[in-house]
Each structure stands twice: as structure tokens, then as C-alpha cells.
């Protein structure tokens, strides 16, 4: 039976949860609205990010949207929307306007002093050129969402919905229960045989004991269920019991991680697999220096080719505040997807400078290099791409971003 997903309904539900039922509070309720505008000029050595027929060009990107939020003692909620337009000097066939969309809705509820409920809804649609590269505020390290869209290399969309309930049982004990759904569409460009939808549903729970404010231990369990509309692709399941640790060895240096054994099962046959799964995070914040490193291996959808597998990823960034307004950054990311009949690798690195001219306007310049390599037994790679060959693109950007608080409403 084919699983159905309704992202538009999920977005509407999230918006209703956020704004239709304002929380009652003794403190002031605050509503704010920020229009956003960003733009850049860039040069890319490989505009379609292909292994063959590489085409360099100058281009420009405009990003328009808004951000609004609601704050009270019992709730913080937000809604963020952006759309993109991109134009090229010579390759007008790659011009895009309105095809890239980004929507993110969040809602954090303080149900009681010890119980919190969080909702998150994200929808991201990308076009088959470098829109995601030159508009992402994550670069150069990129998240797994951006990596999957860039690996798909065709017009693709991703929708993620999550709900998390956390409870503190007392001074030392805490528990969390969360549910998550990801829907990935790969429209396949002009190749209709690639039109397919992939689904991931998961449940995650854990309990931990805080020995002190700086050290905790615990354990938990994750369950994953994968479904596909790709012809002949069976569903898959994964079970992941894990141990969890969080430690602050000294002030402003934080370490956390989970590790366990992942048991995977493919429905309809006897194929089973056992792998090590783990995720880790390290952050360090000084007065001017900020460092973050994240990585590990876990079950996940393997881009848009109708499969699931083990995803290995590492991404990190270093920020340095030269002055109160001028910030330098350097970072990179590695993403490896291994699944049935598919292997994809995505590597990025870069550096840049951002100057905040005032509280409304920032300007920046950055360099980003992308490397993408795919091998698939299905032979359904986009035009201009060969199996097992690496596509490399270098991108130099100069741009600005502006956001102004246009409206504020506060009431008791």
C-alpha cells in the first residue's frame, strides 16, 4: 500500500498551532514581523555541477521573504519564508525565478515548568542549478538536507515534520520522546522514470541522568521506517538502541554523543545488516572564537534515488570576530550516502568575511568549492553526469542581506 504525505496540510497545521491559539500569559505577548531581502553576484566554474560539459558563467541571485515570531512566557513560535530568483549572463536556459522555496515553522510550548513540547516544519524546494549553493546560509559546511538536494541534481523537494516532548522528572532525571517524518520528491527533470517519492518515519526516545550540571549519561532507542514509490523498491526498517553522553569538561567547551548498534531489515527478502551507528557534537565558544564540529553515521534516505542506507557525514565551522561587526569564517562538510544500488559523495569547503554595517544590513564575500560523485546501478543520472566521475565547481560570491523590524505589537 502506498504511503501518502500531505506537506501543504502539515504547513497549514503548523501555522495554525503557532498563531491561531495565542498562549495565555501574565507577561507581555510580543508579535514581530521582519521583511527580508538578500542578493549577490557570483561566478561559478561549473554552473550545473556536472561531470561533463562544465559551463562557467557570471550570475546573480535575489532572495525575498519574511520572518515573523510570537513570544510569551508560555510560547515561542516563528514562521520563516524565502523564495529565490537567479539569472545568468550567458546561459539563460538556467535562469530560475520562484522555483526555489524555503518555509520553516517552529513552535515551542512551555506546558509546565518541567514539561516542554516543540514542533518543527520545514519545506525546501531547489532547482537543478546552483541556487542551493549560492543562497544557503549554511555554506560552506551545508546540512544533510542541502547535500541531498545537491546530490539529486534535479528539481527536488524535501519536507520534514517533527514533534518533541521533553520532561524533567526532578533534579537529575530527564526524558524525551520525538516523532519525525521526511518526504523527499525527486522530479527527475526531463527523465520521467526518475519521478519518485521517498518517505522516512522515525520515533526516538531516551532518558538520561544528570550527575552534575556538566555531565550526564543515558540511553535510548530509535526506530526508522522507510517507504518508496520507486518501482520494485521494497520498504526498509532500522532499529537503533544507543547510549548517550553529554559532558562539559571546562566552561564553554561542550561535548555530546550517542553510539549503538543499528539493525536494518529489508521487507520482502531476507536481507539484513548490522552496523555501528553514532553521532557526535563538539562546540567551543570564546570571546571572539566560535568552533562547532558535528558528525557520525546513521540510517537515512539516500537522496532521490528511492532507497535508504547508512549516511556518514562530518561538518564543521570556525568563526572569528575580528571586530564587533567584522566576522571571518572557514568550514567544510563531507556527506557519504550508501544504499541499495546507490553511492553518493558530497564534499564542500570554503571561507568568507561578513561585515555588519548596521543592525539591518550586512555585506559578505565568500568562496565555496563543491565536489559531487555518484554511482548508481540504475543508470538514472542527470544529463551531463557520468557514473563514478566527480563533478567539481568553484564559486566566488559577493552579496548583501537586509532585514528590518517593520511591525511590532505587544499586549498583556
Question: How many domains does the chain divide into?
Answer: 1
Q: What is the pLDDT of residues 237-246, one digit of tens each?
A: 999 999 999 9
Mean pLDDT for the chain overall? 82
* 314 in a structural domain: yes
Entry pTM:
0.81
* 215 in a structural domain: yes
pLDDT at 324 over 50: yes
* 251 in a structural domain: yes
Determine which of 17-21, 351-355, 369-373 has the lowest per-residue pLDDT on average. 17-21
* 193 in a structural domain: yes
* 389 in a structural domain: yes
Distance CA 176, CA 165 (A): 6
Q: What is the pLDDT of residues 38-75, one digit of tens each?
A: 998 999 888 877 787 788 889 998 889 999 999 998 89
272 vs 230, 260, 309, CA distance in Å? 20, 17, 12
Give the Cα-Cα-Cα angle 264, 266, 267 (nearest 5 degrees). 135
Range of the domain at 287: 41-54+107-411
Torsion of CA 369, 139, 247, 208, to 10 degrees: -120
Determine which of 17-26, 63-72, 282-291, 295-304 has the lowest per-residue pLDDT on average. 17-26
* 175 in a structural domain: yes
Residue 123: all three cell numbers together:
519545506
CATH number at residue 123: 2.40.160
* 30 in a structural domain: no
Mean pLDDT of 89-107: 86
pLDDT at 79 over 80: yes
Distance CA 347, CA 35 (A): 33
Cis preceding linkage at 140, omega within 30: yes
DSSP-assigned states of every residue in 97-137: EEEEEEEEEEEEEEEETTEEEEEEEEEEEE-SSSHHHHH-S
CB 140 within 8 A of CB 366: yes
pLDDT at 137 over 90: no
* 237 in a structural domain: yes
Amino acid at each position: 500500500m502506498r504511503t501518502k504525505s500531505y506537506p501543504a496540510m502539515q504547513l497549514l497545521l503548523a501555522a495554525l498551532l503557532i498563531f491561531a491559539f495565542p498562549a495565555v500569559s501574565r507577561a507581555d505577548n510580543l508579535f514581530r514581523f521582519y521583511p527580508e531581502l538578500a542578493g549577490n553576484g557570483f561566478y561559478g566554474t561549473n554552473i550545473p555541477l556536472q561531470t561533463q560539459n562544465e559551463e562557467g558563467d557570471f550570475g546573480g541571485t535575489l532572495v525575498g521573504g519574511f520572518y515573523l515570531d510570537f513570544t510569551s512566557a508560555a510560547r515561542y513560535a516563528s514562521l520563516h519564508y524565502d523564495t529565490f530568483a537567479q539569472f545568468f549572463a550567458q546561459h539563460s536556459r538556467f535562469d530560475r525565478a520562484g522555483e526555489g522555496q524555503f518555509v520553516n515553522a517552529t513552535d515551542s510550548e512551555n506546558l509546565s515548568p518541567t514539561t516542554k513540547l516543540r514542533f518543527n516544519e520545514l519545506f525546501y524546494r531547489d532547482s537543478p542549478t546552483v541556487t542551493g549553493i549560492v543562497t544557503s546560509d549554511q555554506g560552506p559546511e551545508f546540512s544533510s538536507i542541502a547535500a541531498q538536494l545537491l546530490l539529486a541534481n534535479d528539481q527536488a523537494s524535501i519536507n520534514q515534520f517533527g514533534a518533541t516532548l521533553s520532561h524533567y522528572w526532578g533534579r537529575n532525571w530527564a526524558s524525551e520522546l520525538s516523532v519525525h517524518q521526511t518526504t523527499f520528491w525527486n522530479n527527475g527533470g526531463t527523465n520521467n522514470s526518475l519521478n519518485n517519492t521517498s518517505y522516512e518515519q522515525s520515533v526516538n526516545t531516551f532518558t538520561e541522568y544528570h550527575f552534575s550540571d556538566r555531565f550526564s549519561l543515558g540511553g535510548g532507542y530509535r526506530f526508522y521506517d522507510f517507504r518508496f514509490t520507486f518501482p520494485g523498491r521494497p520498504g526498509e526498517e532500522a532499529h537503533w538502541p544507543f547510549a548517550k553522553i553529554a559532558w562539559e569538561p571546562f566552561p564553554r567547551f561542550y561535548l555530546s554523543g550517542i553510539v549503538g548498534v543499528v539493525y536494518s531489515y529489508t521487507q520482502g527478502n531476507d536481507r539484513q545488516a548490522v552496523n555501528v551507528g553514532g553521532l557526535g557534537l563538539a562546540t567551543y565558544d570564546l570571546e571572539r572564537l566560535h568552533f562547532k564540529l558535528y558528525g557520525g553515521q546513521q540510517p537515512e534516505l539516500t537522496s532521490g534515488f528511492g532507497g535508504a542506507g547508512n549516511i556518514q557525514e562530518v561538518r564543521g565551522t570556525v568563526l572569528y570576530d575580528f571586530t564587533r561587526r567584522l566576522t571571518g569564517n572557514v568550514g567544510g562538510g563531507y556527506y557519504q550516502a550508501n544504499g541499495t544500488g546507490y553511492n553518493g559523495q558530497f564534499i564542500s569547503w570554503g571561507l568568507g568575511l561578513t561585515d555588519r554595517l548596521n543592525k539591518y544590513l550586512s555585506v559578505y564575500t565568500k568562496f565555496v568549492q563543491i565536489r559531487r560523485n555518484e554511482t548508481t546501478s540504475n543508470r538514472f543520472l542527470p544529463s551531463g553526469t557520468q557514473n563514478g566521475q566527480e563533478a567539481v565547481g568553484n564559486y566566488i560570491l559577493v552579496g548583501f542581506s537586509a532585514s528590518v523590524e517593520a511591525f511590532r505589537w505587544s499586549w498583556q
